[in-house]
Amino acid sequence: MSHAQYFLEATYLIASCLFVLGLKGLSHPDTARRGMIMAAAGMAAAVIGTAIAIGALTRSSSHAGVIDDALAAASLMAMNNVYYRFRHMIGKPSYDAKPARLRMQRIAKPATNKADFELFCLAVSAINGCEMCIRSHEEEVMHGLSDDQVHDAVRIAATINAAAVALELPVMTAA
Flag the least confident range among 1-5, 35-39, 60-64, 169-173. 169-173
> Quick check: is 17 catalytic?
no
Alpha helices by DSSP H, listed for 26-146, are 32-53, 63-90, 93-97, 105-108, 114-128, 131-141
The predicted structure's pLDDT at residue 26: 76
> Quick check: is 130 catalytic?
yes
pLDDT for residue 166 is more than 70: no
The predicted structure's pLDDT at residue 168: 63
* Catalytic residue of the set 20, 107, 123, 130: 130
Pick the CATH number of 3-167 from 1.10.3860.10, 1.10.260.40, 1.20.1290.10, 2.60.40.1120: 1.20.1290.10
* Catalytic residue of the set 18, 23, 126, 133: 133
| pTM higher than the cut 0.75 | no
pLDDT for residue 98 is more than 90: yes
pLDDT tens digit sequence for 105-128: 888 888 888 888 888 899 889 988
